[in-house]
Amino acid sequence: MGKTWDQLEELQPTVLRMLKNSIRKNRVAHAYLFEGLRGTGKKDIGLLLTKALFCESLIDGYKPCETCNNCRRINNGNHPDVHLVEPDGGSIKVDQIRRLQAEFTKKGVESSRKVYLIVHADKMSVSASNSLLKFLEEPSAGTVAFLLTEQPQRILPTILSRCQVLTFQPLSPTIMVKQLMENGVPPQKAGILAQLTNNLGDALELNADEWFAQAQKIVVKLYEVLNKNPFEAMVALQSDWFQHFKEKEQIHRGLDLLLLIFKDLLYIQLDKEEQIVFKEESERLKQFALNTSGRRLSNQMSAILEAKRKLDANMNPQLMMEQLVLKIQEGSSFV
């Protein structure tokens, strides 16, 4: 079954408020562009509005009932007047758009309405985009299009200008934590995952990943030796860090985790302990927080962000990490 209106309203309240008004006033646009990060509910909300357009017994004049024949068939992906177009391989081909157009020249099988959803609309080939443009320029009555994308800048401006653009906000970490806990992730892990990714699927994958569990331990250990002396920190880099964080993406993940530790120390100093994410380390972090200043933490966090930029600029990862360790330790009182 698809997600209900109430579930999706929690994720994207602004988008659903606009759509609710459109349905109630019978002013649904003929084409929408939903743009936002992966995992923000674009496809679910496209299908939700589709159900609202076909539902036989709307609740409160806008919510699909989820139980009528049309709602059930849309949830099961087999309504004859609802068409989903996804990339075939790496792109959406012109033939896929032409097939869609041929389908839409026929009369609606069961009603005067027809809906199509184009997932990853930015992946349309040039000829597919031009073909779609003709289609959008002469919309047939009762036809509604949903174009979904994470990269609106890759879509033809002429297509964008014919769509009502709705921007989907990144999920708040609070909602993410709630979703993760509903999926069986313990609260002490959910907080960290919600800070690292906006996508529930990615977060659940990370949670089950032994590499990621080990990564957290290595990062905490590196932070602890950073507070001791430079030599020990360099040894930890050689013996632990470089063995575990090898690919660029992995190093970014490690730096993100390190950044979260410094954020936690800042939260402790600001008396916002409820916001810390390394909950299992909270007692040790409280001790560390006593021995540093907000300004130093801010400088150290800037150094980590700078290291991420250097990594993206293809600096040698080993040299980058060694520089970062020295930078973080500047001004430390070594034990």
* Closest to 166 (Cα-Cα) out of 139, 146, 137: 146
pLDDT at 120 over 80: yes
Q: Is residue 324 within 8 Å of 307, Cβ to Cβ?
A: yes
| CA pair distance 143, 324, nearest whole angstrom | 56
User: Which CA distances in Å does 302 have to 155, 239, 318?
Assistant: 34, 26, 19
Range 209-329 has CATH code 3.10.180.10: no
Q: Give the pLDDT band (50/70/90) at residue 3.
A: confident
Residue with tokens 């020990």: 232
- Both structure tokens of 297: 């933490």
Q: How confident is the model at residue 334 (pLDDT cuts 50, 70, 90)?
A: very low
User: Three-class SS of residue 152?
Assistant: helix
pLDDT tens for 213-269 read 999 999 999 999 987 777 888 998 999 999 999 999 999 999 999 999 999 999 999
The reported pLDDT for the residue numbered 333 is 41
Joined tokens for residue 277: 């994410």
Topology given in CATH for the domain delimited by 5-167: Rossmann fold (3.40.50)
- pLDDT of 289 > 50? The answer is yes
User: Cα(71)–Cα(48) distance, rounded to whole angstroms?
Assistant: 9
Tell me: the pLDDT tens digits for 85-110? 999 988 999 999 999 888 877 765 56
Instruction: Report the alpha-carbon distance of residue 312 to residue 320 in Å, rounded.
Output: 11
| Stretch (H or E) spanning 147 | strand 143-149
Predicted local distance difference test score (pLDDT) of residue 4:
86
Average pLDDT over residues 3-15: 89
Question: Tens digit of pLDDT for each residue in 12-65?
Answer: 999 999 999 999 999 999 999 999 988 889 999 999 999 999 999 999 999 999
pLDDT in tens, 166-221: 999 988 888 889 989 999 999 889 999 999 988 888 899 999 999 999 999 999 99
**Residue 147: strand pairing partners:** 33, 118
Measured at the CA of 177, the angle between CA 172 and CA 179, to 5 degrees, comes to 95
What is the arithmetic mean of pLDDT over 124-143?
88
Task: Enumerate long-range contacts of 236-245, CB under 8 Å, 24 or more apart.
Answer: 237/321, 237/322, 237/325, 241/321, 242/318, 242/321, 244/211, 244/214, 244/215, 244/218, 245/215, 245/218, 245/317
Q: What per-residue confidence (pLDDT) applies to 53?
A: 94
Q: Show the tokens assigned to 1.
A: 């079954």
> In angstroms, rounded to a whole number, what is the distance separating the alpha carbons of residues 314 and 320?
10
- pTM over 0.75, yes/no: no
In this structure, the number of other CB atoms found within 10 A of the CB of residue 316 comes to 11
End-to-end CA distance of the chain, in Å? 59
Which residues belong to CATH 1.20.272.10 in the chain?
209-329
For CATH 3.40.50.300, the residue range(s) in the chain are: 5-167
Give which of 36, 48, 60 is closest to 8, Cα–Cα: 48
Residues ≥6 apart with Cβ < 8 Å to 139 = 30, 31, 145
Q: Kindly state the average pLDDT of the residues 306-315.
A: 94
Pairing relation of β-strands 31-35 and 143-149? parallel
